[in-house]
């Protein structure tokens, strides 16, 4: 594989992912921290896509199954993610409704689509818009860390809304499925080697 001129890889150097020390390609471990060293993550695109497919499968029950059960005056009502958004909106909790919608719908879907697109571009060895794709990856990796906000909101609601038996909120099975979606997408983002974006355009300048 050829690498862009002026890079460490072109000089047969690999960066340790733990302490960032540059070591010679072929060295099995970093001499500073003893971590395993590799020039590029092997089969990272395949692993990323596999994790994304798993997250996509989990996202279906996360949206179809109840994420919380609301009991009012002895009457139970199951709510899905969107049902919870509508419920909090009707209760006048507009910020909570907005946070749940943004964190449960927009962020997970956007993150999965972005990682699928990045994986596809690396697989097709696209040499265009490398700066934009690198920025997209950094944004995706950053916002993904906030995907658990809605699960925390449900947990807080369970702890706080105990109005003497008048209103009670319990977490549903979808909360576990959604936690799995967040976990798999986070691992997929962290395991994606963004350097492959630039390898596709070896020897070319934008």
Q: How confident is the model over 68-100, as pLDDT tens digits?
A: 777 766 677 777 888 878 877 888 888 878 877
DSSP string, 104-157: IIIHHHHHHHHHHHHHHHHHTT--SSHHHHHHHHHHHHHHGGGTTHHHHHHHHH
The residue ranges of the chain whose pLDDT is under 70 are: 1-10, 17, 41-42, 72-74, 144-169, 200-206
The whole-model pTM stands at 0.73
* Per-residue confidence (pLDDT) for residue 206, from 0 to 100: 46
Q: Supply the Cα-derived Rg of the chain in whole angstroms.
A: 22
């Amino acid at each position: 594989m050829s690498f862009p001129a002026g890079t460490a890889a072109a000089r047969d150097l690999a960066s340790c992912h733990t302490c960032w020390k540059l070591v010679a390609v072929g060295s099995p471990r970093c001499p500073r921290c003893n971590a395993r060293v590799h020039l590029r993550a092997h089969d990272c695109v395949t692993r990323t896509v596999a994790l994304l497919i798993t997250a996509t499968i989990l996202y279906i029950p996360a949206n179809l199954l109840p994420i919380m059960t609301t009991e009012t005056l002895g009457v139970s009502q199951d709510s899905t993610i969107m049902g919870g958004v509508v419920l909090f909106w009707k209760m006048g909790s507009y910020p909570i409704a907005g946070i749940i919608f943004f964190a449960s719908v927009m962020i997970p879907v956007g993150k999965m689509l972005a990682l699928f697109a990045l994986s596809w571009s690396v697989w097709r060895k696209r040499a265009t818009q490398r700066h934009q794709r690198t920025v997209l990856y950094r944004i995706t990796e950053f916002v993904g860390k906030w995907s658990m906000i809605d699960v925390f909101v449900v947990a807080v609601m369970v702890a706080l809304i105990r109005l003497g038996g008048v209103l009670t909120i319990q977490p549903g099975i979808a909360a576990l499925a959604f936690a799995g979606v967040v976990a798999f997408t986070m691992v997929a983002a962290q395991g994606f080697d963004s350097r492959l974006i630039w390898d596709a355009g070896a020897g070319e300048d934008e």
